[in-house]
Chains A and B, each alone.
Chain A
Amino acid sequence: MTATSLGRPFTVVSLLPRLLDTNGDAGNARVLAQRMRWSGHDAQVVDVHSRADLPGQVDAVSIGSGTDAALLPARDGLRTLVEELRVWSNNGVPILAVGTGWELLSWGVDLADGSVVEGLGLVAGHAVPRATRATDDIIVASKYGRLIGFENHARDYVGAEASPLGRVVHGTGNGDQATGPQIEGLTMGEVFCTHLHGPVLARNPGLADHLLLAAFSRHGLEYSRGALAVSVDATAQAARNQVAVRLGQSAEYPNAGNEKPRR
């Protein structure tokens, strides 16, 4: 007999949302929790500002992006959670890290003045300054569907070549490499890192549902998209299509690409 319920609310933690929510990326925790509820399960978001806020059980983790002024305090805050982050990533707890939040999980951040902010060293690679800020819509071809979002970063990312999130169709992504394919993001097990800021999971439910599949399967539970999610995802698809068509790409239709978890 397979379990149908967790017996407690699913718990999504949002790490350091006071420091890491410049573009509302902390809202990705809310997106995961809503989709859990829409699939018929209890869910809660717990904001973690320090170790004292950590709940007993963690089912998914969201880390947003912050300003450069917050780099050091955010790094120091994340460092106090480094053991938990290591355990979660080893145990397949899905983790989404956006922008600065991703950079701080890496080996480190090279700043324009030549100094370096040492990262947590949880994922390979490091961030290096760009000549000009990359600010634009971005389209990425990934195995979680065509991801469409917005990027705004002053640094490239070097060292994600072995396991990127996807290939850049429009935009900058990890950087302007003269050679090789243009890539965006980084994945390591169920850790997902990206420059797509703000509501990346709301706009790209294919990626959200992959994280949810991982969170559910750890408990032997099956995830199925709720009825409300189906209609909300149609809205997300319309929003994505608008950007795609403006940038000369084709529109997608229901049951193509993103709307199924995998094909």
Chain B
Amino acid sequence: MHFVSSLRYAPAILVGRAVRVLARWRKPGGGSAIPGVVVNRIAPGFLATTLNGFPLGLVIVTGSSGKSTTTKMLVAVLRAHGLNVFTNQSTANISQGLTSALLERVNLSGRIAGDVAVLEMDEGHGALIAESLTPRVVALTNVMVDQIDRFHDSEMVAALLAKIAARATETVVLNADDRYLADLGSSLDATVRVARYGVTAAVLGQYPRGLGYADTAANRLPAGTGLQLTRVVGRDADVQFPTGDRSIRLPARGIHYAVDAVTALSTAQATLGESFSPSVACASLSAMPAVFGRGEVVTVRGKTIEFVLVQNPSSFQLNVDSLEAGTEQILMIIGSDVRDPSYFWPVDTSGLGHVLIASGLKAHDIALQLAYDNVAVERIEPDVPTALDAFLALPDPVSGVKTIIFSADGMRRTRAHLGLVSNAEDPE
């Protein structure tokens, strides 16, 4: 174990904290990456030294999709095992945001009270800062054709993930159903253990369009060689452990949440080793509150609403496909985060049938796509508060619940307008 106990970083930490107070003062309630910028400038080794110094090491979760949910699940499982976990929320610039987050918890000797650090990393920024990090465990979720204005090719994403995986000192946890990750696993240094997880052929067979991976591996994981998802129906899923099958209740409906859960379980097992308990792990997963915006059902102004967050074309398609048939009241909010309207164009939205309002900065673009998919759009209202008020004012639907499908920007605007607070795990 290596504790960081020098006062090397004390001046930088103090400056960073002062800047943080000033930044908050200027913009009440707003978190800011500025203190991180300042500390990274005056003490560039602070981030790596602190992150590498946890007794049970550093765990990195990365991949195209599902890393945020997987990270939250993993943190819940580790906490249920009694660990004090330091974790981050995803930010655009991970090193500055992380440094700011660390500043809140660090003492002047540069140490943080905690047993283990669990970090969600964007594949691009992660590959940039990974060189200075020595994670014990790296978990890889998948390679999806995603964020096309930043990473055009799956090969490029796979190469970035390989760079992060190469930093693992003990275990790389990976999705064996993803062909890029399966290949990556067989090319890793022999000193690193590879923990594979996946779904059964029967589960895969339930999804004729596949699970959204850029390329699906030809073969499923042989039984007994890793954690396997053996069944998923609505919010219920079964996972096969070496000691037998266990059931879990997912925080939201959908195959991708079930796969995220198996990723989290497999990563927890790699992190905890002998101390890992399948029963504790499954109980803590099942007890998780629904993640905001990810299939959560809330009551606002006396109306029941289901939120559906779409973050990439694959999750968009899976969400459209798993929407309750006959959902008659749908509001779609696509915001400024979707810069290129082509982004969602590969998705077949025809299953939606009928959308009441298209909203957000990209309201016209999404309405255009829906029109060509034969989805009737009753109203286009780019202003999100106006659209939300009109949608909520309508009487309850006869079939299905009021459903709001949004991009991350649409979610933020919805949350702000409806005065909804997020989960404690997501304090952004």
Contact = CB atoms under 8 A, between A and B. Distances in A.
Q: Which of A24, A31, A242 has the most CB of B within 10 A?
A: A24
B32 interface: no
B319 to A, nearest CB: 17
Interface string B332-365: 0000000011111111000000000000011011
Contacts of A152: 148-149, 152, 340
Contact of B345 (A67, A135, A198, A228): A198
Contact of A67 (B150, B152, B344, B367): B152
Nearest to A238: B364
Interface in B179-203: none
A241 to B, nearest CB: 9
Interface in B351-396: 361-362, 364-365, 367-369, 371-374, 380
A252 to B, nearest CB: 14
B153 interface: yes
B341 A203 contact: yes
A31 B374 CA distance: 11
Contacts, number: 84
B145 interface: yes
B230 interface: no
Given A235-B371, A239-B364, A22 B345 contact: no
A135 B368 CA distance: 22
Contacts of A117: none
Interface of A: 21-27, 30-31, 34, 67-69, 133, 135, 150, 152, 154, 197-199, 202-203, 228, 232, 235-236, 238-239, 242
30 contacts: A22-B145, A22-B148, A23-B148, A24-B345, A24-B346, A25-B342, A67-B155, A68-B153, A68-B155, A69-B155, A135-B150, A150-B341, A150-B342, A154-B152, A198-B340, A198-B341, A198-B345, A199-B341, A199-B342, A199-B345, A199-B369, A203-B365, A232-B368, A232-B371, A235-B367, A235-B371, A236-B364, A238-B380, A239-B341, A239-B362
Interface of B: 145, 148-150, 152-155, 340-347, 361-362, 364-365, 367-369, 371-374, 380
Given A25-B342, A26-B346, A235-B364, 18 more contacts: A22-B145, A23-B346, A27-B345, A67-B154, A68-B155, A69-B154, A135-B150, A152-B148, A152-B340, A154-B152, A198-B341, A199-B341, A203-B368, A235-B367, A235-B368, A239-B365, A239-B368, A242-B364
